[in-house]
Structures are given as structure tokens and as C-alpha cells.
Amino acid sequence: MSSAITPDQVTSVAPVAVRKIKSESQWALAWRRLRRHKLAMFGLFTLLAIVLVSIGADMLAPYPYDEIDLGSAYAPLMTPGVDGAPTHILGTDKLGRDILSRLMYAGRISLTVALVTTILTMLVGTIVGAVAGSFGGWVDNILMRFADLMLTLPDLPILLILSSSLRQNQAFTQFLGSNASVIIIIFILMVFGWMGVSRLVRGSVLTLRSQEFIQATQALGGNRARIIFSHLIPNSIAPIIVAATLGFGAVIISESALSFLGFGVMPPVPTWGNMLNEARNSPLEYLFTQALSPGFCIFLTVLSINFLGDGLRDALDPRLKL
Amino acid sequence: MTDYIIRRFVQSIILLFFISMLLYVILNLVPGGPFDMLRLSNPRMTQSQLDRLNSLLDLDKPLLPGQYCPRIGDMQEPCRFDQGRYLRWLGKVVQGDWGKSWTIANGKQVLDLIWGRLGYTVLLMGISLVVAIIIAVPIGIYSAIHQYSIIDYLVTALAFFGQSMPTFWTGLMAMAIFSVALGWFPTSGVRTAGSQGDIIQALGRIFTFGKLHPEMAGMEWKYIADGLRHIALPAGVLVFFNLATWSRYTRTSMLEVLRQDYMRTARAKGLAERFVILKHGLRNALIPLITILALRIPSLFGGALITETIFSWPGMGRMLIDSIAGVDWPVVQGILVISSFLVVFSNFLGDLAYAWVDPRIQYS
């Protein structure tokens, strides 16, 4: 769940946004460096395409995602539709639902879950890390020992247990309504995802804390909240962005893994992961066509994210180049 | 050095205590119990009967040490201090009593169940890790030495692809291609249907010099060959996944080492390039890999869990999924204890190995 972050990434964070004018030129510079990174641009545009197709699923999808046609179940690729209906380009599933249309709608859920989880994870991780780093002492000690403990827990088994048991809790699922399984999955992934970022932020806060502009803020009467929110966090934003990008890919994989095992987002809501779960339970001769496209969507999304993250790492701090 | 080992050992024990407590509390805050099915199937069961059953299993006691006020039906007994379910459970676990399965294998000892599955998981994880490292380390070294060559780009691309392909997809695709379409390997399981023994039993017999499974005499190699045919696909999927990570780690670590002054010194004193790379470079590049290996054990376990499920490999991971689905908390707890023990113990070993191979580390 946590992205691997080496100590030299933490210590070599440049104090970027000291003055307003300079910070803008830094971002422009980073963008120019990113544009030169071919793989990162490939990732960015592929990702944009995937996002746009998912958003526009209502207009683009040839069929509704839940239109059942038992007569043409498990249709192979490029099966013509009945009575002049659109072609099933990627075939149909066990209930005769059009796989391409389901993929588009599934993208919505998978991407939304990943986006919300990543934002929440970054938020929690940043706050915990900033508090630990700037308070120091026993606060730092307790928070970081807790993060260590969380990192040592075997995460996948616990995700499975929490997800299965929260779903069985009637009161809880009724309170959350029809999207219960989606909200549960976001919550669980967040609880087990904040540690990497908090360590990262804490590290960069520790290096920033002793620098002159922080002391200047203190001398001018700025309180702790002001130091944390308007100096420490903006100055450690670069590694947070990289971690968030790579974390987004990791969340897509985790969510799909849980849904694949039947402990994540539940049908009839389609996600790439639970479509793969249905593929696994289909007769073996249909396995290839059923599993190919949902898995490829996960692969393409995560690959694009990883390319983009790699490019961002190079662009935001050229010294980090591996 | 002895002081360091003892200190790290004590720290590991304390860590294990906290981890097991956290896991126990998480599991026990979860709704559902061993009598849910009984109650559903038997609507005439009264609350006081249920209370009595619960108190037999200590389920009415507090989680952590605190006040315990027994209540059977409407009868309220005086409160007294109780050591709590966690400490009671921990005491039993230490003595080797891991409780009995509630649902998936009714009444069987958890420790026996786990013991029966552990070998399969260790075999799958072990084979895939060893094969992946044997292939990945030379690849990583080559691509670090020839940085920015075509091979290097290929390796980097492969690493990106491997990291972006989830095992549950590569597993399904490998099954569809290599066993359904081509028929090279069996789709699932650990042995051919009708076979009397399997690879784990055969290995057990070989390692105990024939003491175990006397009925298998003379058949060991047949069963091992059959087992290898079954393990090929799940292990192959895991190897592909690990290969990506390990070749990249090796490459990064090797690049770091190649820049060091002692490499230039070694060349300057006239050593053969091959000797410089292997003796001065590789040995130093492997040091960080030891820690990474130790830290990645939990994710290996997670990967094995998914792969075991796809290929119906009868390991601990599959048993975990079954027991979670069946609300069989004693079994779940047992597997979690084993896996956190694995994690903590491998971290401990990693630290020791690191201190042992790297003379620059101060123990004090």
C-alpha cells in the first residue's frame, strides 16, 4: 500500500516556494521538464483518455452496463448485435451484458475510488507527518511508532477481514446506503495507506524546520499552524505529488485485488476487479475473452500512472534521478 | 554484537505483542460469532441458552483486562476482575493451544490445520522467490553496467510492465493461455486427480529419510514431478511479478555502488574488470537488497494469497480466504499470528544479516 521512499528522496527536497514569483517559475520549469519525458507524456495522455471515456460513458457506451441478454451470453469478440444493435466489440459476459460498456462504467468506479482514496490518504498522511515533524518529542515518537506498527501488519489479510466484517454489519451498511461497499473500501484503503506519506512529510519537515525562513516566521510572530500550513507543507509538496501519483496506481491495484477476491466493490456495480472475479468463475473456455479486457484496463491505467509518476519525480527534482 | 542481537530480539518480541493485540482487538470488534448459523437454523433458541454457550467459549468476557459482570439470561452475577480474552488467548497460544475451528473444519485444532497448509505456501513462495532472484540479479547487474544501452531500456520497460500487471490478471491470462489453450500445464490444484500422494508429502518423506508416509515408498519422484507440473504456473506468475521488482532494485543498488571511489581504486590497482564488478561491486550492492528482501516478505505473502486462490493451491492464503468468508475467527487469528510472526522474524533476520555483512554498521 505504501510507496517505497528512500531517505535520499526525503533529504534532497529543494526549498521550492520561498517567494511567490520564484515558485511560479519552478512549476513552469517542472512542466517543461515533464514535457520532455516521452513516457510520462504517454502516461498523461493515456490516463486523460481513460478518464474522459469513463466520464462520458453515458454517451459513448454502446449499451447500458446492466442490459441483460441471456440469449447471447459469453459472446466472443466482435459479435454483431441482434437486429442491428451495435456490435459487441469485446464480447459479452455470462448474462449477455456488453463488456465494453461495462468496462467504461467500471472505470468510473475504479477511478473514483482511487482518486478519493489517494486524496484522503495524502491529507491524513501529510497532517500526521507535519504534526509529528514540527512538534517533535513524544508526539513524534508515538505517531511514528504507530506508523511503524501499521507498516508491519500484513495488510491484505486485514483488508479482507475488515471489508468482510464491515459489510456484514447491518446497521453500518444501512446507514451508508447502496454505495456501502464503495465507501467501506475507500475507508479501509485510507486507514492502511497513510504511513508512507506521513514518513515522507515528517522527513522533509525535519530538514526544513531548522532553516532560516522558518525561524524568521517565528520571529515575526507566526504561530505553529501558520508554520505548518503555509511554510512546511507547501515546501514539501514535490515529493507528496510523486507519492500521490504512485499511490494512485497502488490503490487501483489494491481495490481490484479486493474486488477480485470478492471482498471489495460488490456487483451489480461493475469495477475492473469484480469483472475479473466474474471472469474467474466463468467456464474455462471463455476465460481468455472474459479476463483479457478488464485486466488490460487495470494494466494500462497503472502503467500510465507509473510512467507519469516516474516523469514527475524527474521533473520536480532533477537531483533524484535514478 | 551479542548485545545488539539481544536488543533487537527483545524489540521484536514487544512488537509481536502489540501486533497480535491490535489484530486480536480488530477481529473481536467485528460482529458475527460461532453460533450465528446455529441461531438462524434454530429459531427456538433462547437468549439465555446463547449466553451460556458464549460464556463457555469466554466470549462474554472483556477483551482487555477489566471488570467482568457475568449475565446468563436475566440473572446478573456480581462483577469481578478478569484478565481479558486477549491475555487468556495469548497464554494459550504460547502453550501451543490455538483453539478449534468454528466453521470451515468444525472442531479441528487450528495449529494442525495451519501445519497442514504451511508447507504448500512456503514451497510456492520459496520457489518463486529463489528463481526470481537467480534471474533478476544478473539482469540487474548487466543493465547497471551497460546503463542506457538497449538491454537496459528493455529491462526498465519490463520492470514497469511487471509492476503494473497485477498477479490476479497475469494468473488468469497464464491459465487461459498455457493450460486452457495450449494444455501444457494443469489449471489448478497440487496433484493429478486420483493421485495418492503429492509433492509436499514426497518431500517430507525424503527429508525424514523415509520415516513419514511409508505407503509412498518408491513413488516419491513421480509425485514430485507431478507437483512441479502443478506449481509451474502459479510460481511462474509470482516469478514474473518478483522479477520486475528485483531486477530494478539490483540495478539501482549496483548503479549506486559503481559510482563509489573504491571501485575506481580497485580498477586503478589493475584488477580485472570482472573481478572489480563481482568482488567489489556486487558484494556491496547486495547489502541493501537484504533489507528490501526482509521488508517485502509481507507483500510476498499477499501475492501468494491471490495466486493460491486463482490456482486453487491448498496453502495458507486460500485457507485464510475460506475462513474469513466462513467467519472462522480462531483460524483467521492463527493465520494472522503466523504471518505477523513471519514478518517480524524476517525483519529481525534482515537486520542481523545487514549488521553482519556490513562492517560499517555500529552496534552500540
pLDDT in tens, A135-191: 888 988 889 888 888 887 777 888 888 887 777 766 667 777 667 778 888 888 898
Question: Residue A236, exposed/middle/buried by CB under 10 A (0-12, 13-18, 19+)?
Answer: buried
Which residue did the predictor score with more confidence, A105 or B364?
Answer: A105
Q: Residue A91 and residue A100: Cα distance in Å, rounded?
A: 8
CB-based contact A164 B336, cutoff 8 Å: no
φ, ψ of residue A222 to 5 degrees: the values are -70, 135
Closest CA in chain A for residue B317: A157
Q: Among A6, A110, A151, A261, which would you mutate to test the B interface (most chain B Cβ atoms within 10 Å of its Cβ)?
A: A261
The percentage of residues in chain A with a pLDDT greater than 70, rounded to a whole number, is 86
Mutation target for A interface from B169, B259, B320: give the one with most A CBs within 10 A.
Answer: B169
Is A303's CB within 8 Å of B306's CB? Answer: no
* Min Cα separation A269/chain B (Å): 20
Among candidate residues A126, A281, A260, the one with its CA nearest the CA of residue A199:
A126
Q: Alpha-carbon dihedral of residues A37, A42, A43, A46, nearest 10 degrees?
A: 160
Report whether A117 contacts A184 (CB < 8 A). no
pLDDT in tens, chain B (364 residues): 788 888 888 988 888 888 888 888 877 776 666 666 666 677 777 777 777 777 777 777 777 777 777 766 666 777 777 777 888 888 888 888 888 887 777 778 888 888 888 888 888 988 998 999 899 999 998 888 888 889 888 888 888 888 888 889 999 999 889 988 888 888 887 777 767 777 777 777 777 777 777 776 777 777 788 888 888 899 999 998 888 888 888 888 888 888 888 888 888 888 888 888 888 888 888 888 887 787 777 777 777 888 998 888 888 888 988 888 887 888 888 888 888 888 888 888 888 877 777 777 665 5
pLDDT at res. A20: 52
B252 contacts in chain A (CB < 8 Å)? 322
Whether residue A15 has a cis bond before it, omega within 30° of 0: no
Interface of B with A in 233-272 (CB under 8 A): 252, 255
B30 to chain A: which residues are within 8 Å by CB? 161-162, 165, 168
Split at pLDDT 50, 70, 90, the class of A118 is very high
The pLDDT assigned to A115 comes to 93
Split at pLDDT 50, 70, 90, the class of A1 is very low
- Contact list in A for residue B181 (CB cut-off 8 A) is 288
Q: CA A232: distance to chain centroid?
A: 24
Chain A residue numbers with beta carbons less than 8 Å from the beta carbon of B294 are none
Contacts of A149 in chain B (CB under 8 A): 15, 18-19, 22
Q: Which of A98-102, A248-252, B53-57, B177-181 has the lowest mean pLDDT?
A: B53-57
Per-residue model confidence (pLDDT) at position B163:
85
Instruction: Check B321 against A160: CB less than 8 A apart.
Output: yes
B22–A292 CB contact, under 8 Å:
no
From A230's Cα to the closest Cα of chain B, the distance in A is: 35
Find the mean pLDDT for residues A46-51: 92
Q: Is the pLDDT of residue A49 over 90?
A: yes
Residue A320, pLDDT > 50, answer no
Q: Which of chain B's residues have a Cβ under 8 Å away from the Cβ of A285?
A: 180
A25 compared with A96, residue with greater pLDDT: A96
- How near does any CA of chain A get to the CA of B19, in Å? 7
pLDDT value at position A263?
84
- Quickly state the pLDDT bin for A117 (edges 50, 70, 90): very high
Size of interface A-B (CB pairs under 8 A): 131
Interface check for B32 against chain A (CB to CB < 8 A): the answer is yes
- Alpha carbons A21 and A6: distance in angstroms, whole number: 31
How many residues are there in chain B? 364
Residue pair A129/A13 in contact by the 8 Å Cβ criterion: no
pTM: 0.82
Please state the ipTM of this predicted complex.
Answer: 0.80
Q: How close does chain A come to B333, measured CA to CA in Å?
A: 10
Would you place residue A299 in the very low, low, confident or very high pLDDT band (cuts 50, 70, 90)?
very high
Asked if A298's CB is within 8 angstroms of B339's CB, the reply is no
Q: Which of B27, B306, B340 sits opposite A257 (nearest CB)?
A: B306
Burial label, B212 (beta-carbon count in 10 A; 0-12, 13-18, 19+): middle
Give the chain B residue nearest A276 (alpha carbons): B169
Q: How confident is the model at residue A10 (pLDDT cuts 50, 70, 90)?
A: very low
Predicted confidence at residue B33, as pLDDT, reads: 61
Per-residue pLDDT at A305:
92
Say if the Cβ atoms of B19 and A149 lie within 8 Å: yes
Q: What is the pLDDT of residue A44?
A: 92
Q: Does B14 touch chain A (CB under 8 A)?
A: no
Note the pLDDT of residue B197: 73
